[in-house]
Amino acid sequence: MTKRKPYEQRTDLEKVQSQWNKLSALHTREEWSAAIVRAATAAEIAANYAVRKEFSTRITLDPKFIDSLLRWANGLAGKIDRLLIPLSVGEKQNKTIKKLKTISEKINNKRNAIAHQGEFCSEDEAKESIQLSREFIETLVRIYEPDFTLKDKEC
């Protein structure tokens, strides 16, 4: 039996997949709201990955400083508005990232309704949010890793 890599030692893309695996299990157990939160978390980690990639193509910065910027940006919407869109101005990926802003707002609004207002969601709402998160993650990550695809875990 192989020992799993501790979560904190995983790359951003490994963390995205771990969150995706967890949401699949939650969805199977009909824990719709929790699955939505996991999907949104996966989307935010994908945004972290994209921010790190954008910085790495321009300048060498201390990873701790980049981590502080990711915390400052505060959530998926902040990472899109405060970091990814400004970082990609003048680059070919800017148009794609701007289009993802609308999707990120839907993901973030549903996640915040659950996390901050205690909203419970239905299976249909979960399916919609998970699909939006998949679209967001795969579109964003493919800017940097063209062959990236989330793997669905069989539960």
| Alpha carbons 149 and 3: distance in angstroms, whole number | 24
pLDDT for the residue numbered 101: 94
**Does the residue 119 lie in any domain?**
yes
Residue 6: per-residue pLDDT: 87
pLDDT digits (tens, 9 = 90+) for 114-144: 999 999 999 999 999 999 999 999 999 999 9
Structural domain boundaries enclosing 113:
12-144
Q: Judge whether 103 lies within some domain.
A: yes
- Reading the block at residue 122, the tokens are 């239905």
Q: Could you read off the pLDDT of 7-30 as tens digits, one per residue?
A: 888 999 999 999 999 988 888 899
pLDDT > 70? residue 151 = yes
Assess if residue 3 is contained within a domain.
no
Task: Please report whether residue 104 resides in a domain.
Answer: yes
With respect to residue 122, please indicate whether it lies within any of the assigned structural domains: yes
Closest CA relative to residue 91, chosen from 50, 63, 132, 137: 50
153 found inside a domain: no
Has residue 80 been placed in a domain? yes
Measured between alpha carbons, how far is 54 from 143 in angstroms, rounded to an integer?
Answer: 10
pLDDT in tens, 31-75: 999 999 999 999 999 999 999 999 888 888 888 999 999 999 988
- Residue 155: inside a domain, yes or no? no
Q: How many structural domains compose the chain?
A: 1
CA distances to 45, 53, 96, 104, 120 from 84, rounded to whole Å, are 13, 10, 11, 12, 31
